[in-house]
Chains A and B, each alone.
Chain A
Amino acid sequence: MTYPAQLVELIEEFQDADDQMERLEMVFEMADEVVLIPIDDWSDQTRVVGCQSEAHVRVSLDDGKVLMAGAADAQLVQGLMGILTIAINGSAPAQALLLSPEFAQEMGILKSLSPSRSNGFRNMFDKVMLAIRGLVE
């Protein structure tokens, strides 16, 4: 998988982390990268179903480029949203749709990408990609 340059840089930073705890701390810091959806705008439409935490995403196009917004009550899930934000925001939809979720494994953050109720990242990633597809089809 070829990733966008900004994501490649991030993957390398994560791989260089001393240990898993430091890696998770870095994910926590990524939570600030998210374009936040105010809590009043959280709805069933924005909710990431099957997530242990309360997580919301919304995708729109801004001048033809992807604009993802999100929020989660778990810092780790919001941090993963932040990483996804860096990866796709400002990209053309067709380019964003090329992204596969394996980068979270390559970063060493997640062991499993299997869809499950404990895998907030995978559920969130799938919802974002589905939303982008909906915008361009």
Chain B
Amino acid sequence: MPLRDDFPILRRLVHGHPLVYLDNAATTQKPQVVIDAMNDYYTQSNANVHRAVHTLAGEATDGYEACRTRLKSWFNAERAILTSGTTEAINLVAHAWGRANLVKGDAIVLTEMEHHSDIVPWQMLAEERGVEVRYVPVLEDFTLDMDVYAASLEGAKLVCVVHTSNVLGVRNPLEDIIRLGHEAGAKVLIDAAQGVPHERIDFDAFGADFMAFSAHKMCGPTGIGALLVRPEVFEEMEPFMGGGDMIETVTIEGSTYQTNEHKFEAGTPRIAEAIGWNAAFGWMEPLDLKHEHKRMLEIARYTAAELRTLGMTVYGRHDDEDSAVVSFLHPTLHSEDLAHLLDARGYAVRTGHHCAQPLLHRLGISSTVRASFYLYNTMEEAEQFIAQVKSILERFA
């Protein structure tokens, strides 16, 4: 598979065995072009952005801003704020929009499927401002209860929904969620951390007011992500972090602020990371993401079906728009034990609550083993994985 050759880490051994990396919902591996772009920046162009006039500063600024330009064209968005990742992007909405626009008695609608990153900032805001938080339950078929969602919109000012569950792989009916939310007068934030790696989203057509996501789940570096904002909602946001880069003027009496995205990017930004992320987009650009998504789903479906025959309970769904995530549990062999045993043969999977404890509580479990597939994974790896799980069960279960 030629694509795999772009990822140097896939050639390493773990405990003497070839690495089979199946923890992509946590973070993806980086192609050589991303590593090279960051390395080139530090060896050739390292400087601070935006104000100095020397050559290096110009190159650094161009490299940083090129990432924003790429984000806007990739997602068809007018406003793209660079953040440290999805978590900071959601917290930015809570601080910059939430604190400026929500008052006691307002309601925020979340779901039980959210990552902690899309729960905790709202709980903190609710406690501070007396805002009500409502949760849409997850049904037995792993989907959201849309009747409860529709009913919960009464008086809601903000809806925050995960695009695709990092545990279940379920892609939510976002088009309906956004439409209903807007009809009720609420703004809609989509946590797309697990969505953008699998689906090319047209943000303007999508209709959400905010969309948060991270670079590192789509072959980019860690430490950088973005918040896309509709232009009219962008104007409703107040500065959150104060400092350099976000100001227009500073006097002893007070300060005025930038009017563009820099208003929300105080301090020296993540320059190398932005350059690396732009390189990741460049690497992904020629790929047929729809075709790749279909291929990954076939791998996930095969894996889920085989795990069931081995006595595992699989939590989640693999319909055409869902992601290639397979969460499962064995009735007797603990998830942590299985993960350690798989690691001994070079297989990287994740275990635990996946930062989604309310969801796992709803499912009546405290952890799962999660195998998540991405662009460089192959059906052969899935077949080897199943054979290894079978061998472990024969020896240890």
By a beta-carbon cutoff of 8 Å, the part of chain A in contact with chain B is 19-21, 23-25, 28, 52-54, 73-77, 117-118, 120
Q: Is B337 an interface residue (CB 8 A)?
A: yes
A19-B15, A19-B16, A21-B345 known; A76 and B351 CB under 8 Å?
A: no
Q: Mark B316-340, 1 if CB is under 8 A from A, else 0.
A: 0000000000000000011111001
Do A54 and B344 have beta carbons less than 8 Å apart?
no
Q: Which residues of chain A are within 8 angstroms of B337 by Cβ–Cβ distance?
A: 28, 74-76
Q: Is the CB of B344 within 8 A of A76?
A: no
Among A19, A20, A24, A77, the most chain B Cβ lie within 10 Å of the Cβ of A20
Among B16, B334, B344, the residue within 8 A (CB) of A74 is: B334
- B367 an interface residue at 8 Å Cβ cutoff? yes
B174 at the interface (CB under 8 A from A): no
A89 CA / B343 CA spacing, docked (Å): 31
Are A77's CB and B352's CB within 8 A?
no
A74 touches B396 (CB 8 A): no
With A28-B396, A53-B336 as contacts: A19 and B352 at CB distance below 8 Å: no
The contact of B336 among A19, A28, A74, by CB within 8 Å, is: A74
Known: A28-B396, A52-B351, A117-B352. A21 touches B341 (CB 8 A): yes
Known: A21-B344, A76-B337, A120-B336. Contact between A52 and B395, CB under 8 A?
no
Q: Tell me the smallest distance from the CB of B231 to a CB of chain A, in Å.
A: 40
User: In the complex, which residue of chain A has the Cβ closest to the Cβ of B16?
Assistant: A19
Chain B residues in contact with chain A, CB under 8 A?
Answer: 15-16, 333-337, 340-341, 343-345, 351-352, 366-367, 395-396
> Most chain-B Cβ atoms within 10 A of its Cβ — which of A19, A21, A23, A25?
A21
How far apart are the CA atoms of A118 and B337 in the complex, in Å? 12
- Contacts A21-B344, A24-B341, A76-B340; A52 near B335 (Cβ below 8 A): yes
- Cβ contact within 8 Å between B366 and A54: yes
Residue pair B395, A25 in contact (C-beta under 8 Å)? yes
| A-B complex: 4 closest residue pairs judged by Cβ atoms | A20-B344, A74-B334, A20-B15, A21-B344
B393 vs chain A, min Cβ distance (A): 13
Min distance, Cβ A83 to any Cβ of chain B, angstroms: 15
Q: A19-B344, A24-B341, A118-B352 are in contact. Are A52 and B15 (CB under 8 A)?
A: no
**Cβ-closest chain B residue relative to A75:** B337
* Residue contacts A-B, CB under 8 angstroms, 8 given: A24-B340, A24-B344, A28-B396, A52-B367, A53-B336, A75-B337, A76-B336, A77-B336
Q: Which residue of B lies closest to A27 (CB)?
A: B340
Residue of B whose beta carbon sits closest to that of A117:
B352
Residue on B with the closest CB to A120?
B336
User: Which residues of B have CB within 8 Å of A76?
Assistant: 334, 336-337, 340
Contacts of A54 in B (CB 8 A): 366
Interchain CA distance A20-B396 in the complex, whole Å: 14
> For residue A21, which residues in chain B have a CB less than 8 angstroms away from its CB?
15, 341, 344-345
Chain B: which residue is nearest A23 at the CB level? B344
Closest-CB distance, B323 to chain A (whole angstroms): 23
With a cutoff of 8 Å between Cβ atoms, the chain A residues found around residue B16 in the complex are 19-20
- Rounded to whole Å, the gap between the CB of A116 and the closest CB of chain B is 10
A117 CA to B344 CA, complexed, in Å: 20
Chain A's nearest CB lies how many Å from the CB of B349?
12
How far does the alpha carbon of A20 sit from the alpha carbon of B15 in the complex, in Å?
7
Residues in chain B near residue A120, CB distance under 8 A: 336
B341's closest neighbor in chain A, by CB?
Answer: A24
Known: A24-B344, A118-B352. 14 other contacts (CB 8 A): A20-B16, A20-B343, A21-B341, A21-B345, A24-B341, A52-B335, A52-B352, A52-B367, A53-B336, A54-B366, A74-B336, A76-B336, A118-B351, A120-B336
